[in-house]
Amino acid sequence: MVMSNSPMRLFGALGFAAAIALTGCGQKDDAPVTKGGPVSLRRLTEPEYRQVIADVFGTTIKVPGRFEPDIRDNGLIAVGTSRESVAGTGLEQYDLTARGIAAQVVDEVHRTTLVPCTPAKATDRDDACAAKFIERTGRLLFRRPLSQGEMATQVKGAGESAAKLGNFYSGLELSVSAMLVSPQFLFRQEAAQPDPDNAGQRRLDGYSKASRLSFFLWDTTPDSELLDAAAKGDLDTDSGIAKQVDRMTHSPRLAAGVRAFFSDMLGFDGFTALAKDPQIYPKYSSQVAADAQEQTLRTLTDLLVTNNGDYRDAFTTRKTYLTRLLGSVYGVPVMTSTGWEPHEYAVDDPRAGILMQVSFLSLHSHPGRSSPTIRGKALREVFLCQKVPDPPGNVNFALVQDTKNPAFHTARARLGAHINQPTCAGCHKIMDPVGLAMENFDSAGGFRSTENDSLIVTAGEIDGMKFDDASGFTKVIHDHPQAPVCLVNRIYSFGTGRAASKDEAEWLNYQVKQFVASGYKVPELMRRIASSKAFYRISTPGTDANNATLSMAGTNTQTEALK
């Protein structure tokens, strides 16, 4: 139960819903003007790479191996990709993967589908047929048409290889492999051009806009229609962008974009290195971890996309999906032998919303015990965009780690003693009350009412809002004014591949108000961002654009503005 005044009242008092002018769809964009950000160069993430290969060549093409880990920056891998390069070992991995993919693309199973022509002789070069294949495939891989020089190089290389190896398809294989290790494929390279409407300024070219749009909304390379629109210059006009955004946001593929965003925001890449002690948590396995991620993403896409629901309900919804493995962790029966089935928690069940799901609970815990501190830190950073400082290097954690200390049966008791150390108290007061609200769930996400035979108390307070149990906690987070602010900030950063600048604070504040007025609808938020000028605007070198990263203080400023 929420015991203080609900922040919803703050929003309710805003009363600006009717005054909002929609962007896109040919309507006027009344949003504050921004100065844009730099043209970006973003390395494909591994999920993006895999999705692109599936979309270009089909899902039957296996993508072997793993790539270099991505960098998380400002809460998102999408932002970190702008800082990434490829190391020597990473390039070797890309090369091996490319060879494996290329061999499948031209094998006897796939060539009839993926190669649009039949060579005059399968044992020799056929430059015309090779050109047809390379032109079509290269356009999708490079997210733009290949230049004449690129085409010539690829056709020549494929032809010479085919002649030398006595196999037309071996030549194509080499060409595909070469394209897959080229920077034009591995990096989303944006290009700027003079802006005819604003003398002295530049704008993204159409293909760069197409890539931003496609990876943002669909998590994949632009499709042929989007590339055609770029080629015709349609994406240089508001109406042209609005038409494509409308098409893409009404596509079932929007769910892929939503999934990609939340997978990034929730830090699911952390599962690759996550382990639990099997002696303490035997129910936790790699398959449970995989199912847990999928559960959360299904919960979110069902709520936000399928039902076009309120984002804040992600913290309180009782509707989710389960497999039998997850059912064994949650302690509920699952009828379906294999696969997923919908499930709804009972009204008085403390488990509600994505914070009480195995994915969040297990990802933000130690291998052998839960951690209110880590969970509290994660909640503040992931969902409220509030940076919590790292602990000083000389902290003695012995008291917190000793879960069998007879003097301190529960995590609350141990942390209570720990924060008596003055250097620890400040940050723990920010993190611990939040994390202690989730102490009814162990490191693997299983329910428990006691720890060391002592009752676990989950009551607490966050930012002046009190709650007396986990259920009340989820309602507080649901109503926390910073949650929608953070989401808008994160989604914008996810799409642009950079942290928002201070210059964009006012624009973001405007978007937050639009988001609130829309009923916290995420697809509408994505549509609005994708339709906005700010999403594509690039800064001009030498101007006085304030490109300092929008700090947590900046986001707090937005909250204040909302009030």
Partner 1 sequence: MTRFQLYTRPLGIVAGLALAIAAGHASASETRGYVVSWFGVSTYYGGEGDCPDGLNPMSTEFYKRELLRLGYSEPDATKLLKDFPGNPGRPDGEYIKIMGTRGDKKTNVYAHPESAADPGLKEVKGKFAYGFNLDGKTDSPISFTDPNTGEKGIKNQYYRSLGCIRSFRAPPPAHPTLAQAQWDVLRDEMPAWLIEIAGITDSKNSDNVTVTISRGVDHVSRDASGAVRSDMSFKVDPDQRSHNVLHGSIKNGILTTEPSNIRIVADPFLIPEFSWKKAQLKLELKPDGSLNGILGGYHDWYALYWSYAESGWVEEHSASVDMPALYYSLKRNADADPDPTTGENKSISTAYEVEAVPAFVIHTEDKNDKKVSDAGSTLPAHRVEANLGGWLRSLGW
- Residues contributing to the site for partner 1 (CB under 8 A): 276, 278-279, 281-285, 324-325, 327-329, 331-337, 341, 345-346, 348-351, 440, 447, 449-450, 453-455
For the CB of residue 43, give the shortest distance to partner 1 in the complex, in Å.
34
Residues facing 461 on adjacent strands: 466
For the CB of residue 471, give the shortest distance to partner 1 in the complex, in Å.
8
Q: By C-beta, is 453 or 544 nearer to partner 1?
A: 453
Q: Is the dihedral of CA 101, 103, 109, 112 positive or negative?
A: positive
Please give the Cα distance from 14 to 30 (Å, whole number): 18
Name the residue among 153, 218, 160, 217 with its Cα closest to residue 179: 153
For the CB of residue 356, give the shortest distance to partner 1 in the complex, in Å.
10
Cβ–Cβ < 8 Å for 257, 526: yes
For the CB of residue 66, give the shortest distance to partner 1 in the complex, in Å.
22
Structural element, H or E, at residue 132: helix 127-142
The DSSP code for 350 is: S
Please name the residues in contact with 174: beta carbons below 8 A apart, sequence gap of 6 or more.
Answer: 102, 157, 158, 161
Cβ–Cβ < 8 Å for 484, 478: no
For the CB of residue 410, give the shortest distance to partner 1 in the complex, in Å.
12
Q: By C-beta, is 247 or 447 nearer to partner 1?
A: 447
Give the torsion through C-alpha atoms of 355, 357, 360, 365, to 10 deg.
110
For the CB of residue 306, give the shortest distance to partner 1 in the complex, in Å.
20
Q: By C-beta, is 111 or 276 nearer to partner 1?
A: 276
For the CB of residue 405, give the shortest distance to partner 1 in the complex, in Å.
19
Q: By C-beta, is 463 or 469 nearer to partner 1?
A: 469
What angle, 0 to 180 degrees and rounded to 10, lies between the N-to-C axes of helices 46-57 and 88-105? Answer: 20
Q: By C-beta, is 45 or 410 nearer to partner 1?
A: 410
Please give the Cα distance from 441 to 383 (Å, whole number): 19
Residue with tokens 């494909």: 44
Please name the residues in contact with 286: beta carbons below 8 A apart, sequence gap of 6 or more.
Answer: none
Residue 118's CB is within 10 A of a number of other CB atoms, namely 12
Residue with tokens 């005044």: 5
Please give the Cα distance from 233 to 241 (Å, whole number): 10
Could you give the C-alpha distances from 320 to 1, 126, 522, in angstroms and in order?
A: 22, 54, 18
Q: By C-beta, is 2 or 483 nearer to partner 1?
A: 2
Q: By C-beta, is 316 or 489 nearer to partner 1?
A: 316
Q: By C-beta, is 236 or 451 nearer to partner 1?
A: 451
> Tokens at residue 165, please?
């190896």
Structural element, H or E, at residue 205: none
Name the residue among 316, 255, 250, 259 with its Cα closest to residue 480: 316
Q: By C-beta, is 146 or 329 nearer to partner 1?
A: 329
Q: Is 47 helix (H, G, I), strand (E, B) or coil?
A: helix
For the CB of residue 442, give the shortest distance to partner 1 in the complex, in Å.
13
Q: By C-beta, is 33 or 275 nearer to partner 1?
A: 275
Please give the Cα distance from 495 to 216 (Å, whole number): 5
Q: By C-beta, is 58 or 331 nearer to partner 1?
A: 331
For the CB of residue 207, give the shortest distance to partner 1 in the complex, in Å.
48
For the CB of residue 452, give the shortest distance to partner 1 in the complex, in Å.
11
Please give the Cα distance from 498 to 350 (Å, whole number): 37
For the CB of residue 329, give the shortest distance to partner 1 in the complex, in Å.
8
What single letter denotes the amino acid at residue 138? G
Q: By C-beta, is 91 or 447 nearer to partner 1?
A: 447
For the CB of residue 8, give the shortest distance to partner 1 in the complex, in Å.
25
Q: By C-beta, is 115 or 325 nearer to partner 1?
A: 325
> Tokens at residue 255, please?
């769910």
Please give the Cα distance from 310 to 516 (Å, whole number): 9
For the CB of residue 440, give the shortest distance to partner 1 in the complex, in Å.
8
CA atoms within 13 Å, Cβ hemisphere of 22: 10
Please give the Cα distance from 288 to 362 (Å, whole number): 10
